[in-house]
Amino acid sequence: MIIPDESDPGWAKAISRQESPDYELLATKLLLGRLAIIYEMNPTQETIQKCVAELREYFFRNKDLPKAQADLLKMFGEVDL
């Protein structure tokens, strides 16, 4: 599974809840909920960069889980799985 670079706008869209599909993993839902609150409390470029780094690291650690792959696909559309 190829995980998009931190500069991909899909990460920020997910964190800012511009798009909120029904994710499959509870861990994905909880992490995105927490990151969204952090970003809402301090909507700066520095905050979004930290949140994106954490979210990307989560997917990197869980890249072998089929449901994590499905969540990433929902977040970005077509990615090379």
Condensed to tens digits (0 to 9), the pLDDT of residues 21-57 reads 899 999 999 999 999 999 999 999 999 999 999 999 9
Residue 79 has pLDDT above 60, yes or no: no
- Tokens representing 6 are 């931190």
Q: What is the pLDDT of residue 2?
A: 87
Q: What is the pTM of this model?
A: 0.90
12/57 Cα distance (integer angstroms): 14
Contact 4, 81 (CB under 8 A): no
The model's confidence at residue 81, banded by pLDDT at 50, 70 and 90, is very low
Contact 55, 14 (CB under 8 A): yes
